[in-house]
Amino acid sequence: MKKRVFIDCHTDMQDIPAIKLIRRIPDLEICGISSCYDPYRSGTEEKISEGFLKSSGFEGKISEGARSPIIPRRGCNGGPGGHSEYYCRPQDGYAWEQMFEQAIKDNEDSGITMLLLGPATNLAIAILRYPAIKSRIDHIIMAGGSFGFGDVAPYSERNVYDDAYACKILLHSGIPMTMIGLSAATDAALSRDEMKTAVRCLVGEKKSESCLEDMSLRCLGGKYIVPSLAAAAWMMDPEVAVMDNFHVDVETNGTEMYGRTVIEWRHYLHEPEETRVAVSIKKDKLLDIVK
Amino acid sequence: MKKIPIIFDCDPGHDDAIALVMALAREDWDIKAITTVGGNNTIKNVTENALRILEVTGRTDIPVASGMEGPFLKELVQTGKFHGKSGMDGHHLPDPVTKAASDDAVGLMAKILEESDEPVTLIITGVFTNVAVLLLAYPHLKSKISKISIMGGSYYRGNWSPIAEFNVWADPEAADVVMRAGIPFDMYGLDVTHQAYLKREEYAELRTYNNPVADFIADLFDFFSKSCIEDRGHPGCLVHDACAVAGLIDPSLFRYIDTHVQMDMDGDITRGGCVVELRPKGWPRDDEVNSKVAVWVDRIGFMKLLLDSCAYFGKKEV
C-alpha cells in the first residue's frame, strides 16, 4: 500500500517543482493539498492561483488555509501580518478540516505524512481543533527553520518566522518531525542556470519562468536556496541529506531572535532529541534526483 | 418574548457555578449550550460540575459539551486549593445522571453559530482556549458573535502573578487570539471583581430561601469564603465570574471605559498580563478601542441581583 502525504504549500508557482518531484516517488500518494498562510501574497490574491491548479497535477480538492498567523508578530518584533478575513466558509472547506478528514480515513491502516512547504499555521490549527489528529500523523516534514543563519532575520528562516507560534505548536505536539531548513539547503545553493535547468526538468519549459519568478524570495545573493526542493528530494532519496537528531524549539519572543529555530546541538547533555534535522544537503545528489 | 441567544463557556468552579445560576435564572435568555474547558480543574471534573449545576437547577434541556483539556502550548495548571478536589467543593451533589451531549465543545459552538439566524453572545468565565480554537478554525463565524462578555484579565492587579489573572494567564496565546479577533468584548477583570463581594452576613440570607439552588449556592459561598476571607483577607467572598453575567443582565451596575486591551506574552515577569490602555486621552496612546473594561461595580446592586437570581428558583418549580 502506498504511503499517503498531505502537502501544505504556497499556491502560487514557487512550490510546484517540489510537488512535481514528490509525484515521481513511486510508493507515495498525495492525499491532499492545501494553501498555507502566505504573508507575501497580496490581499487581492487570496484565491489559489490558476497556474497552481493547472500545474500541480492533483485531481482532488485543494483547500484554502489560514489568512493570518496564529499569533501575529507584534510591534516589538516586527509588526502584524495577515490578510482579509473569511466572510464565508471556503467552498471546499478549510485546510485543517481536509487534513483531519484525510488523517482519520478509517479505511487506512496507517496515518499520513504531513509535508509543510510554508508556514505551519494550518497544521497547528488542525492540531488545536482536532487533537485526535496527532495519533494519525506518522510524521511531519517541514521545509523550513535553520541550524544557523536566517534569511528574513539574522537567525530566522522565513517559513518559521511567518508563524513562529504555529511552529512551536508542532514541535510541542509529540508528532515525529523532520526539519529540512535553510542552512542545510544552502549547501545545495543553485545558480540561476542550475535552478532553471532543474525546474525545467520538473515542470517543463513553459512553466519554468513563472516558477522561478515566484521563487524570487528564495534567491539570496544570486543563488537559489530552496528548502522545499531539498525536502522533496529527501523524501525521494534520504541519501541526499546528512541528518542528525536534536531537541528543537522556536523563539517566539524578542526582536532580532524572533522566529529563530533554536537547535540544542549539545548531544553530551543527553537530553531527549526528538526532531530529525538536516545538517547538510548534497548538491550533486540533489541535481541527480531532479534529473 | 424574543430571547437573547447565549453560549456559556466555563470551567466550574465556585464562581462559575454562581454565574451559571444567575444566567439560568434569566427567562429572557436562550442559553444554547454550556461548554467546558480545562481550567479550574480537569476537563472531566468541570464538565461533571456543569452537568450537576443543570440538574440542581432543573435545566438539563441545555446541552453541555466538554472542550479543550488544556492550553495551546503548556500544561494545564489547576486552581485546586481554591476550588477543592472536585473543582466545586463545599456542597455534595450526586454524580450527574445526565451526560455531556458531546466532547467537541468547539464543534457544538460552531454548529450553533452556523445555524443561528441572529448573532449570539458568548460568555467566557474560564480559560479562553475553546473560544480561541473556535475563532481560529472557523474565522467566517466571527460575524455571528455579537459580543463576548469575559471574566478575565486585569489592569493593575493579578492573582496568579502580581499582574496576571488566572483565566488569561493560563493560556495567554488563546486570550490574545480572542482579544485580537475584532469582536467587541466586555472585560470584567480582577480590579472590578474584587469590588464584587458578598459578606458572610449578606449571603447568609440564601439560607432563608428554602430552595435547593439557594442552599447549593450558600454552601459554595461558605467553602469559597475560606480562601477569600480567611486566607487572603478580602472583606467578603469574591464572585469574579458572576460579574460577566451581571454586566450583561444590567450594565448600569458597572462603570466602563472604552479602550484597547491586549495580552503580554513576552515578558519575563509580566507574561500572561493584560495591557490595558489607561493613559488619558490627549497623551500619545493606542486609541484602537476593542473593549469595554469594567472599572467599578455597584456592589449592593450586584448583590441584590445575585440573591434575586437564587430566589428565582424557589418561585419556579425545579
Give the residue extent of every domain in chain A: 3-290
Cα–Cα dist B60/B56, whole Å: 9
Predicted confidence at residue B307, as pLDDT, reads: 97
> pLDDT grade, residue A14 (50/70/90)?
very high
How confident is the model over A191-208, as a mean pLDDT?
Answer: 94
Mean of the per-residue pLDDT values of chain B: 93
Grid cell 485543517 — which residue? Answer: A96
Is B300 within 8 Å of chain A by CB?
Answer: no
Would you tell me how many other CB atoms lie within 10 Å of the CB of residue A45?
13
Give the domain range for residue B53: 4-315
pLDDT-wise least confident of A2-11, A98-107, A202-211, A230-239? A98-107
The reply to whether residue B180 touches residue A125, judged by beta carbons under 8 angstroms, is: no
Predicted confidence at residue A10, as pLDDT, reads: 94
Sign of CA dihedral B24, B71, A134, A227: positive
B109 is written with which cell numbers? 459552538
A254 is written with which cell numbers? 524578542
Cα–Cα dist B311/B318, whole Å: 12
Predicted confidence at residue A77, as pLDDT, reads: 61
Residue A36: phi and psi, rounded to 5, are -80, 165
CATH number at B276 reads: 3.90.245.10
pLDDT-wise least confident of A133-137, A178-182, B87-91? B87-91
Burial B63-83, CB ≥16 within 10 A → b, else e:
bbbbbbebbbbeebbbbeebb
Burial of A267: CB neighbours in 10 Å, binned 0-12, 13-18, 19+ = exposed
Number of domains in chain B: 1
Predicted confidence at residue A119, as pLDDT, reads: 97
The reply to whether residue B136 touches residue A125, judged by beta carbons under 8 angstroms, is: yes
Predicted confidence at residue A43, as pLDDT, reads: 56
Residues of A in contact with B140 (CB under 8 A): 85-89
Q: Which of A76, A89, A168 sits opposite B73 (nearest CB)?
A: A168
Predicted confidence at residue B318, as pLDDT, reads: 54
pLDDT, one tens digit per residue, over B22-47 is 999 999 999 999 999 998 899 999 99
Mean of the per-residue pLDDT values of chain A: 91
Q: Is the pLDDT of residue A35 over 80?
A: yes
SS3 assignment, position B146: strand
pLDDT, one tens digit per residue, over A152-195 is 888 899 999 999 999 999 999 999 999 999 999 999 999 999 99
Is B69 within 8 Å of chain A by CB?
Answer: yes
pLDDT, one tens digit per residue, over B99-132 is 999 999 999 999 999 999 999 999 999 999 999 9
> Which residues, including other chains, have CB under 8 Å from residue A89's CB and lie 6 or more apart?
B138, B140
> pLDDT grade, residue A286 (50/70/90)?
very high
Q: Which of B132, B137, B139 sits opposite A85 (nearest CB)?
A: B139
Q: Which of B140, B142, B176 sits opposite A89 (nearest CB)?
A: B140
pLDDT, one tens digit per residue, over B196-206 is 999 999 999 99
Q: Does residue B14 have an active-site annotation?
A: no
User: CATH classification of A3-290 is 3.90.245.10, yes or no?
Assistant: yes
Predicted confidence at residue A81, as pLDDT, reads: 58
Q: What is the ipTM of this complex?
A: 0.78
pLDDT-wise least confident of A14-28, A38-52, B218-232? A38-52
> pLDDT grade, residue A266 (50/70/90)?
confident
Cα-Cα end-to-end distance for chain B: 22
Cα–Cα dist A164/A174, whole Å: 17
Predicted confidence at residue B317, as pLDDT, reads: 58
